[in-house]
Amino acid sequence: MSALLTATVSLRREHPHVARYLAVIRQDIERHPELAELGSYDALFDEFWRATANAQSELGRAVALRAVIEGLLAVGGAGLGLDEVAAGAVVLRTVFDTGLGSQS
C-alpha cells in the first residue's frame, strides 16, 4: 500500500489534473461510440485492483483500495498543494498500517 500511495503522490505531482483527465475519458467513452474500445480497459483495472488487494480477498477490499487511490488523485482539485496531498498520504499509510484507532 505504501508503494501505491507514493506512486499516487508522484503522479499527482507530475500531472495535477490527472483525476479530471480520467473523468473526461470516462464521459467521452459514453458519448462517443468510436471510443467504446477504451471501455474494455475497465476490466484490466478491475484485475489490477483485485491482484493488489490480494486474489483471495473480497471485491470490497479491491473497491476500497481503488477509491482511496482515485480519491487521493482527485481531492481538492489541482489547487490543493502537493504538501497537503503528501501529508494526506502519510495519514493514509498510518491508517492502513495500524488502523483508524491510532489517529487522534
Query: From its phi and psi, is residue 74 left (phi > 0), alpha (psi between -120 and 50) or beta?
Result: alpha
pLDDT value of residue 102: 52
Rg of the chain in Å (alpha carbons): 15
pLDDT value of residue 85: 92
Question: What is the chain's pLDDT, residue by residue, as a tens digit (104 residues)?
Answer: 888 899 999 999 999 888 888 888 889 998 999 988 888 887 788 788 888 877 656 777 788 888 899 999 988 877 888 999 999 999 999 998 887 765 55
pLDDT value of residue 34: 92
> Considering the entire predicted model, what is its pTM?
0.73
Residues constituting the chain: 104
What domain range is 96 assigned to?
A: 2-102
The number of distinct structural domains making up the chain is 1
